[in-house]
Amino acid sequence: MCWFADFRFPFCALLGVFLALSPARAGEQVDVALVLAVDVSRSMSPEELLIQRKGYAAAVSSPDVVRAIELGAYGRIAMMMFEWAHDGHAREIVAWSVIASQADATGFAEKILADTTYGQRRTSISGAIRHAAALLKDAPYAADRRVIDISGDGPNNQGVPVTMARDAAVASGLVINGLPLMTRGGGGFRFNIPDLDEYYRRCVIGGPASFVIPVNNWAQFPEAVRRKLILEIGGLVPAEVPRVIPAQITFGEPYDCLIGERIWQQMRQQYFWDQ
């Protein structure tokens, strides 16, 4: 309601401007807005997909993760989770949620476990990054940091080049961290590369304090995710992880960030695939 009838319209206009600029209208303040982007390509077996889902649930609900959240400046984070595979597949598992307590974290974990994963064809890390970036752009929160947490067991083989998606996300102020799954299983073993951790370092991650935590076997997975979340919540980087050199820097040994696309092309020619 606006008072002073003689000045009603100017006063209302000024009030509208004030409300539009009010922090409350910008969204709830959180320490970090975090997107969990989880690979469900068919290069992983159904058993591995289940281990992955349980590992994320265990990590999110870990008391250590909750403690890290509580120690933040605002004592809360915003987080959501989606699964990705080919360039057109991005399925929400848990919607944006504010986590500020053990109950919040447990509720998020329960939603992860309540859903069922179905493997999908192809691997588009670039598509996952672009989808995550759009989610963060529209997230209804005022966040000090906006982070994409992406896991995967192979290189990009569909969509735009992964470095193009990475560079665009980093240029918009986002941080991308990686969880390369250096495991063996599923039907897409032909797309495995032995240095997936280096691929993630050179081609996928980016932004201030970005880092990679490799997973060499599935027994390590829950602990790797837990550790990664704690670092992301605190805006830290593992001491043993070297500073990442952006792809556009040309000194040093070159790395083929299109290796996944090249493997796919070779397989397509060998087996006469039509897509």
Condensed to tens digits (0 to 9), the pLDDT of residues 193-245 reads: 889 999 999 999 999 999 999 999 889 999 999 999 999 998 877 766 544 44
Which residues pair with residue 99 across a beta bridge? 77
Backbone conformation region of residue 252, classed left if phi is above 0, alpha if psi is from -120 to 50, else beta: left
CA angle 254, 257, 261 (to 5 degrees): 140
Tell if the pTM clears 0.85, that is, is over it.
no
Q: Is 171 exposed, middle or buried (0-12, 13-18, 19+ CB in 10 A)?
A: exposed
Number of H helices, E strands in the chain: 10, 5
Kindly state the average pLDDT of the residues 128-157.
Answer: 94
Confidence class of residue 273 from pLDDT cuts 50, 70 and 90? low
Confidence class of residue 151 from pLDDT cuts 50, 70 and 90? very high
CA dihedral (51, 193, 150, 135) in degrees, to 10, reads -120
